[in-house]
Structure 1
Amino acid sequence: MENKHVYRLQGLSCANCAAKFEKNVKAIHTVEDAQVNFGAAKLTVIGEASMEQLEKAGAFDGIRLIPEQAKIQIDPLPFWKKRANILAFISAFFVLLGYAASAWGGEKDPLVIGLFALSIVIGGYDLLRTGLANIWHFRFDMKTLMTIAIIGAAFIDEWKEGAVVVFLFAVSEALERYSMDRARRSIQQLIDFAPKKALIRRGKQEYEMDVDDLQVDDIIIVKPGQKIAADGVVIQGASSVNEATITGESMPVHKTIGDEVYAGTMNEEGALEIRVTKRVNDSMLAKMIHLVEEAQAERAPSQQFVDRFARYYTPMIMLVAFFVALIPPLLFSGSWETWIYRGLTVLVVGCPCALVISTPVAIVTAIGHAAHRGVLIKGGIHLEELGKLTAIAFDKTGTLTKGKPEVTDIHIFSNDRTEKELLQIAASIEKYSQHPIASAIVREAQKQGISLDEWSVVDFHSITGKGVSASVNKTAYYIGSPALFSEHPLSTEMVDAISSLQQEGKTVVGIGDQTELFGIIAVSDRARERAALTIKQLYREKIERIVMLTGDNRATATSIGGALGVNEVKAELLPEDKLRIIKEIRDEHGRIAMVGDGVNDAPALAAASVGVAMGAAGTDVALETADIVLMSDDLQQLPYVIRLSRKTLRIIKQNIMFALLLKLLALILIVPGWLTLWMAVFADMGATLIVLFNSLRLMRI
């Protein structure tokens, strides 16, 4: 989209500020649309707006913009150098002076009042400016509540209380910014993995250049200990490459000529020459960063609830505060000063800060943490759904098994054919198929030195769920499951051979023509090393139903399912059968995850509550089709991400319940006058900090 501009944001302090900044940008007449991603601290603008206009829209929060593709790197300011924190320290200094002076001259002394007033003006300058603007425009958020409370405290001569409120609120805001920065750091670390420069060879010359200027088919040279600058294919050399940035797997992977490598991964041993296959913006790392940022922007169901609740909550708190200040003096002869003070305390207690951040900080932390483990979660909604699962369906080939089957047996049933001829016919046809079993037959033919280009192959057709047909040298042949030849006359020898191989857990492929089955090829696909352990862990995670779905024959499927510990196997399925079964289980259990390779079974993945793809280091198809991608093809990441999801849900519920219960308790304590203004702010700050640090516990999973 030509009119789309993306900026990184510095200084964005809170979720309410993000919403206000987005609204301000949308109000610029040349802007068609805008979206602020609070989790990733990014702004996307559709339309035209100058940097000056955009920074003016965010001036209320001191927001600075950096174009996403800009090469400038602005290091974050230390905590003690940030303007808001400096003002908070100065405010605290005048509060302490005010307390010291009040010990000599009393709280009503003009010098004491002046010191507290100075503390309010310095520490609360940004707060009061924003709050007054909000009051003028009838916008109600936590800064509006705090502004009314501070002005009210000054109005009833509670200058000391007002100054302490300003200082504590500034501390709360600073700590909230610090915690959100920690949660966002997961994205920044992903960005930092990619090197900024690359050593390139063009012709006979070698020179260094910016990775942004790399072109497809450029040759880059990566020395031992250097990071790979772009996605590409090794054309010279061999080395071990640490792909933890992409897959989360710390064990190095051996790479040699013809192997794919990814930007941001570390070359550990030998020198490599790599032909660039993707521009820097299209690299696997760039896609991961984009997906993580998009995921953190997407509101989870619990966050949507909190956002809706907060819209009504703040005006309701203002109404309660108004009645607390008004009704006792009017109807019960209460002191105006006392009850106005208590009404102001209600406003402070009612600040929805802890409630507003209860969900986003947990979601941002969880998604960022998962990305570092090589698990891409495409949004908070999928993270929440995963935690509520009671049923999981697995595709067999490429998911529970390695997806690289090997030919183990060849049986001939025709005296006119040889093993080599049978394999040559099968491989000549199967080279047009993408199925893993077809690839195994082609690999076996190549291993035996059989040429696949001698014969003419035309009229290739796929027979859904059963096999393929094609004309080889003007003769029609069929290759597929034994069911494809069910109408052919099969001898006892054929039936026994097929049955025996299937009982061994092997997949049997028949080769024949319209009248005769010439022979069979047995193919075996070994189970993934940790598949059985993963199934056990899923049962321990209270997954009630685990189903294996496969188009393979029942005997083979039962053998593999039994070895892995899967207690329910559904075999000989067509794609539409898998879709039907997923819908049936979803209707029965409410939610189901489908785990597949992201290439086949797309309808089943789409129909499941959560589609989980084995990433094969992030194939484009897997990234596009699934809600969750296991980048390293490690099934053991599945129990991990379920635990992460469930802990995230627990933490979100704890955060919301704690924030609301603390507010309720504080409101009850206000009525008898047991809660002062500064204590109310302290309680609100405490609630915010507990919510933040509770969410950051997700980093320890």
Structure 2
Amino acid sequence: MTTADPDTPPPAHGLFSPKGELIASIVAGVLLLAGFVAAQSFGRETTLGLIGTGAVWASLGIGMIFGVKAAWEALRDLSIDIDVLMVVGAALSAVIGHPAEGALLMFLFTLSGALEELAMMRTQREIESLHKMMPTEALLKRGDAIEPIDPTLLQTGDVIRIRPGDLVAADARITLGRSAVDQSTLTGESLPREVGEGDEIFAGTVNLGDALDAQVIRPAAESGLQKILKLVTEAREQREPAQRMIDRLSGPYAKAVMSLAAIVMLVWWLVFGEPFASAALTAITFLVVLSPCALIIATPTCTLSTIGRGARAGVLFKGGQAVERLSRAGALCLDKTGMLTMGKPAVVAIESVGWSDADELLAVAAALEEDSTHPLARAIIDEAMRRGLSEPSVSDVRHEAGRGISGRWNDDTVRLGMFRYAQDAVPVCLRARVREIMDAAQERGQIGVVVARGGTESGEAAVVIISDPPRFGARALAPALARLGISPVRMLTGDSEKAAARVASELAIPEWHAELLPEQKVEHVRALKDRAHKESIGGVAFIGDGVNDAAALAAADVSIAMGTIGSDAALESADIVLLGEDLAAVPWAIRLARRSRAILRFNLALALAVIAGMGIWVLIGSRIKMDVPLWVGVIAHEGGTLFVVANSLRLLAARGFAPSTDRSASGEASAEPSELLTAPQPV
């Protein structure tokens, strides 16, 4: 077959597999060349000439095996397609005394079909390589015993052992050990991720360091990797509007070409008075050059190559429409928390105000926060764990929603929370200093949590400074988007104006809006869409986490979710999902989508130009004694098809994005305000 069908994979082995078809076409080509040379060199009437003629017919017969099979499948479904056109052309060529031209047509037709199938298989391998990331064995831990088990049998709550070099068998949370995991096959990020107790690890990643024990949080069948595989499979099966139109018209087009070829033969024979053989040869050449092989194969090869290359880099396009929409994006909105910042608050400093033992106060704070699910509580607990602190015994712990926590420790009342809540436990003489530290933290876009013990007359206090650090690549994002002509780039956040201004200043975000409710974010996106469409600057992209920004994602022309690997919402709500933590993937994905669109447009233009140009040349040339030989038409037709496929495959070789160089910034936020950037103004 001349056009590879991504929905119907060819057999892997045997004569009709791509490799079998390729070998057969090479044999046919050798026979054709040898037979043609023998017949021309020794004469058709000599013994060697007759052998050469037989070799030409044998070459034609080999090609016909594949052509007739494909044509019969089409005719059985009562349709006429390119395979039927090629078989009819080759058969008529042989009937009118040009078996060599017919053999050449079937040789190149079979060869191009085999190469197209192999090319499509390569793009499929890029996509399906994710399947190879699933291990065939997991180590289940039962007490002190460890036994091998099929990963598909793992259930939520099972504890597994992951040895150095092992593939992680299921999404799990580490219960024992520290190590580094390679997530490059999922996220495209080459740098290993440091993990320890409490961290999630994902199926298909590789343990690079020490052995780990981890508790399964999702069965293998529900892992993030399996959801990704399902998403990519669905994306592969989607059809772009242009491809759906081509598929819909290919049948009528093939019938029209066959009818036109018959009309050309009759007109040239009966009206223009050309010999029947000459008129038939012109009609056959016309039929061959008008066959839309390159036109049909252009879109699927380009789309699948883009999806495959993106998947290898941790960028999941949900079909060709997502690629097309992203390529047209001219403006971009994004959330702050979880997008420009990691969404994982971390303790960056402890300012003592009378409470001199920082480890002691941190341990007490962690003990008070033990049962809290607030993100700031998680930051305090994680910092205490990082320092290896053991939690002291606290009693009478009381949570007051939106205010703070109180409890008893060493017969003293301890309060933790915002200043207004904790001030009753802060000595009067220390309150001004605590207030000063809190204000300074807010000016820097950070959060201060007061921890105090004792009372208004005597006691100790401290301020735990917490920051949500910038995400990898955040500082380079706005300049990179500007170089791509994306403007405006606008930050939308529900955070305070001070915090928003700080982040926008640090990351050079030119426009921002703060203290927005979810519905207000939607209004901003819609307003920007109206402006973008009026000014013809392209569509509006929105980057969110797929959970809190679902409405804004839906309102945008193209939505991008920067979710974790295991996030159902991120995988389901967006057109494009970035699996990694590095914002460098955003401009890379835009460049890939634009390159894909450029290659697709070139391929379609080339295919149409070859069809139209060669068709006109065949008709006019035959009337002015500049006939197009059938072999020239065959080479132009099949050569154009092969060029389109090869051009699309260049997308698979696109360079990946380099890991961001500002990774150190994500691990520790600066305690000093930036003096290098002027804060932009809200618009």
Listed one character per residue, the Cα deviations across residues 73-113 of structure 1 (whole Å, up to 9, x for unaligned) are x8x78999933233323323432343244233338987655
Match of 1:387 in 2: 327
TM-superposed CA distance for 1:533, in Å, is 0.8
Residue 241 (1) aligns with residue 181 (2): yes
TM-superposed CA distance for 1:662, in Å, is 1.1
TM-superposed CA distance for 1:606, in Å, is 1.5
Q: Is the 8 A contact 2:93 2:102 kept in 1?
A: yes
Match of 2:633 in 1: 680
**Could you say what secondary structure the match of 2:247 adopts?**
helix
**Could you say what secondary structure the match of 1:229 adopts?**
coil
Matches within 5 A, 1:609-628: 609-628=557-576
Match of 2:644 in 1: 691
TM-superposed CA distance for 1:430, in Å, is 10
**Could you say what secondary structure the match of 1:393 adopts?**
strand
Q: Is the 8 A contact 1:391 1:593 kept in 2?
A: yes
Match of 2:679 in 1: none
CA distance in 2, matches of 1:238, 1:522: 26
Q: Is the 8 A contact 2:127 2:312 kept in 1?
A: no
Match of 1:488 in 2: none
Match of 1:90 in 2: 27
CA distance in 1, matches of 2:45, 2:512: 79
Cα 1:280–1:337 shift into 2, 3 Å: same
Residue 549 (1) aligns with residue 502 (2): no
Q: Is the 8 A contact 2:172 2:202 kept in 1?
A: yes
Matches within 5 A, 1:187-336: 187-336=127-276
CA distance in 2, matches of 1:216, 1:202: 14
Match of 2:44 in 1: 106
Which of 656, 669, 672 is equivalent to 2:604?
A: 656
**Could you say what secondary structure the match of 2:329 adopts?**
coil
Identical pairs, percent: 34
**Could you say what secondary structure the match of 2:126 adopts?**
helix
**Range 643-652 or range 498-507, more displaced:** 498-507
Which of 155, 173, 176 is equivalent to 2:95?
A: 155
**Could you say what secondary structure the match of 1:196 adopts?**
coil
CA distance in 1, matches of 2:149, 2:129: 22
TM-superposed CA distance for 1:280, in Å, is 2.5
TM-superposed CA distance for 1:120, in Å, is 1.8
TM-superposed CA distance for 1:457, in Å, is 5.0
TM-superposed CA distance for 1:245, in Å, is 1.5
Match of 1:353 in 2: 293
Cα 1:684–1:326 shift into 2, 3 Å: same
**Could you say what secondary structure the match of 2:564 adopts?**
coil
Match of 1:431 in 2: 372
Match of 1:170 in 2: 110
Letter in structure 2 aligned against 1:384: E
Letter in structure 1 aligned against 2:333: A
TM-superposed CA distance for 1:201, in Å, is 3.7
Listed one character per residue, the Cα deviations across residues 289-313 of structure 1 (whole Å, up to 9, x for unaligned) are 2211211111123323433443443
TM-superposed CA distance for 1:508, in Å, is 7.9
Cα 1:334–1:201 shift into 2, 3 Å: same
CA distance in 1, matches of 2:518, 2:381: 24
CA distance in 1, matches of 2:314, 2:248: 33
Structure 1: stretches of 5+ with no match in the other structure: 1-12, 19-35, 42-62, 65-73, 413-419, 461-467, 474-478, 483-491, 512-518
Matches within 5 A, 1:116-155: 116-132=56-72, 134-135=74-75, 138-155=78-95
Q: Is the 8 A contact 2:419 2:435 kept in 1?
A: no
Match of 2:522 in 1: 579
Q: Is the 8 A contact 1:239 1:256 kept in 2?
A: yes
TM-superposed CA distance for 1:237, in Å, is 2.9
Q: Is the 8 A contact 1:507 1:553 kept in 2?
A: no
Q: Is the 8 A contact 1:532 1:564 kept in 2?
A: yes
Which of 361, 377, 381 is equivalent to 2:317?
A: 377
TM-superposed CA distance for 1:198, in Å, is 2.8
CA distance in 2, matches of 1:275, 1:522: 32
CA distance in 1, matches of 2:365, 2:140: 44
**TM-score (ref. length: structure 2):** 0.78
TM-superposed CA distance for 1:548, in Å, is 0.6
**Could you say what secondary structure the match of 1:82 adopts?**
helix
Match of 1:629 in 2: 577
TM-superposed CA distance for 1:456, in Å, is 5.0
**Range 333-342 or range 213-222, more displaced:** 213-222
Q: Is the 8 A contact 1:594 1:610 kept in 2?
A: yes
**Could you say what secondary structure the match of 1:37 adopts?**
coil
**Could you say what secondary structure the match of 1:527 adopts?**
coil
Match of 2:123 in 1: 183
TM-superposed CA distance for 1:144, in Å, is 0.9
CA distance in 1, matches of 2:185, 2:159: 22
Listed one character per residue, the Cα deviations across residues 324-373 of structure 1 (whole Å, up to 9, x for unaligned) are 21222222223322121111111111222211110111111111111111
Q: Is the 8 A contact 1:428 1:457 kept in 2?
A: no
Q: Is the 8 A contact 1:430 1:442 kept in 2?
A: no
Listed one character per residue, the Cα deviations across residues 387-427 of structure 1 (whole Å, up to 9, x for unaligned) are 10111101011111222335779999xxxxxxx9xx989x8
Q: Is the 8 A contact 1:184 1:364 kept in 2?
A: yes
CA distance in 2, matches of 1:584, 1:480: 37
Cα 1:166–1:107 shift into 2, 3 Å: farther
Cα 1:443–1:166 shift into 2, 3 Å: closer
Q: Is the 8 A contact 2:310 2:317 kept in 1?
A: yes
Match of 1:608 in 2: 556
Letter in structure 1 aligned against 2:513: K
Cα 1:379–1:506 shift into 2, 3 Å: same
**Could you say what secondary structure the match of 1:359 adopts?**
helix
Match of 2:675 in 1: none
TM-superposed CA distance for 1:156, in Å, is 1.2
Match of 1:37 in 2: 7
Letter in structure 2 aligned against 1:596: G
Cα 1:107–1:342 shift into 2, 3 Å: farther
Which of 342, 357, 362 is equivalent to 2:302?
A: 362
Cα 1:406–1:303 shift into 2, 3 Å: same
Cα 1:179–1:444 shift into 2, 3 Å: closer
Q: Is the 8 A contact 2:564 2:580 kept in 1?
A: yes
Cα 1:272–1:410 shift into 2, 3 Å: closer
For the aligned residue pairs, the C-alpha RMSD in angstroms reads: 4.0
Residue 559 (1) aligns with residue 535 (2): no
TM-superposed CA distance for 1:521, in Å, is 9.3
Letter in structure 1 aligned against 2:571: L
CA distance in 2, matches of 1:508, 1:137: 72
Cα 1:556–1:135 shift into 2, 3 Å: closer
Letter in structure 2 aligned against 1:676: P
Cα 1:309–1:198 shift into 2, 3 Å: same
Cα 1:451–1:335 shift into 2, 3 Å: farther
**Range 611-620 or range 587-596, more displaced:** 611-620
Match of 1:398 in 2: 338
Q: Is the 8 A contact 2:166 2:207 kept in 1?
A: yes
Match of 2:475 in 1: 532
Q: Is the 8 A contact 2:44 2:53 kept in 1?
A: no
**Could you say what secondary structure the match of 1:592 adopts?**
strand
CA distance in 1, matches of 2:435, 2:514: 19
Letter in structure 2 aligned against 1:675: V
Bigger RCO of structures 1 and 2 (CA < 8 A, at least 6 apart): 2
Listed one character per residue, the Cα deviations across residues 471-493 of structure 1 (whole Å, up to 9, x for unaligned) are 999xxxxx9999xxxxxxxxx99
